[in-house]
Structure 1
Amino acid sequence: MGKNNVMLSKDAVSASLAECFVTIGDRRYNFMQAINLEAKFDKEKSEIPILGKTGKGNKTTGWKGTGSATFHYNTSIFRKMMLDYKRTGRDTYFDIQITNEDPTSSAGRQTIILEDCNIDGGILAKFDADSEYLDEDMDFTFEDFSMPEKFKNLKGFLTN
């Protein structure tokens, strides 16, 4: 039996060593209030009937970008977006930049920029006398994304 390459535990990327920046118009915010964020790329598919097959095929016809975040309840920038929309009918679109980098990991650094994000709604006011701290969840969509930096391939990942 041949020797199997395995990932080194040091190459796991630390969950908390990320950076997150939000750019709204010409203002860039260090979104250090973030607790977690997840952005998803969902392919939209159509079922394709194929003559001579008992099953249908699947063809990708588009995609949709969605995300969710939890952050400390100590910033009003998203509530201001909702207030501006209520008052003017003008919606606000913004970018979110997420960078993951763990200096211990050989994976290096990855940066994803979510472009033309738009919040689905949000919490206007909140309190909880039984909680240690306040946080809030936010769902959003995005129209585009880029990846200016990508993780390196770990040693042993490529087999030929």
Structure 2
Amino acid sequence: MVETMNAMDAMSGSLAECFITVEGNRYNFMQATNIEVKMSKTKVKVPILGRTGKGNKSTGWEGTGSATFHYNTSIFRELLYRYAKTGQDFYFDMQITNEDPTSMVGRQTVILKDCNIDGGILAKIDAEAEYLSEDFEFTFEDFEMPEKFNVLPGMKI
């Protein structure tokens, strides 16, 4: 008989925390409704004698992310304003923790280092909206994983 995952081990999408630390100030980024972070490896094609195809060699990586959050904070707008007026850029760290108490996988925390947003919305109105939200995209330079999900029973054979 094949062992399968229990439904209760699927992670709830809303049971998460996000904290941002910018210029020594730590914020509970509870306004976030969606965050997705990716790491993309950079590769080069490697010609190999005796093969008709080329190999692939990893040479580095790039970290990118996107976030959607409620339009109810001016923290990033203030920093974008400062950048526009002075050229002084800003970087921040973002800590994301997923934990669903019904799941056996436990808790995972990822800390993104030296995040830098690509830009942002300065003002917004929408007379038909139930609520306002905004999106931003960002890059990051490094990351840590101080907490990792547990391996579910049946995964490791």
TM-score by length of 1: 0.97
| Structure 1 equivalent of residue 97 of structure 2 | 99
Aligned pair count reads 157
**Aligned equivalents of 1:81 and 1:60: distance in 2?**
35
Give the ranges of 4+ consecutive aligned residues of structure 1 lying more than 4 Å apart after TM superposition: none
CA shift digits 1:85-142 (9 cap, x unpaired): 0121110000000000000000000000000000000100000001110000000000
**Aligned equivalents of 2:23 and 2:95: distance in 1?**
14
Query: What is the 5 A alignment of 1:8-157?
Result: 8-157=6-155
Identity %: 66
**Aligned equivalents of 1:80 and 1:144: distance in 2?**
25
SS of equivalent residue, structure 1 residue 157: coil
Shift of 1:26: 1.1
**Aligned equivalents of 1:62 and 1:90: distance in 2?**
28
**Aligned equivalents of 1:14 and 1:91: distance in 2?**
35
**Aligned equivalents of 1:114 and 1:47: distance in 2?**
29
Shift of 1:25: 1.5
**Superposition RMSD in Å:** 0.5
- The one-letter amino acid of 1:110's match is Q
**Aligned equivalents of 1:121 and 1:27: distance in 2?**
20
**Aligned equivalents of 2:67 and 2:43: distance in 1?**
26
**Aligned equivalents of 2:27 and 2:140: distance in 1?**
18
CA shift digits 1:42-92 (9 cap, x unpaired): 000000000000000000011000000000000001101111101211100
Shift of 1:37: 0.2
**Aligned equivalents of 1:28 and 1:41: distance in 2?**
24
**Aligned equivalents of 1:25 and 1:109: distance in 2?**
27
**Aligned equivalents of 1:135 and 1:61: distance in 2?**
37
Structure 2 unaligned blocks of 5 or more = none
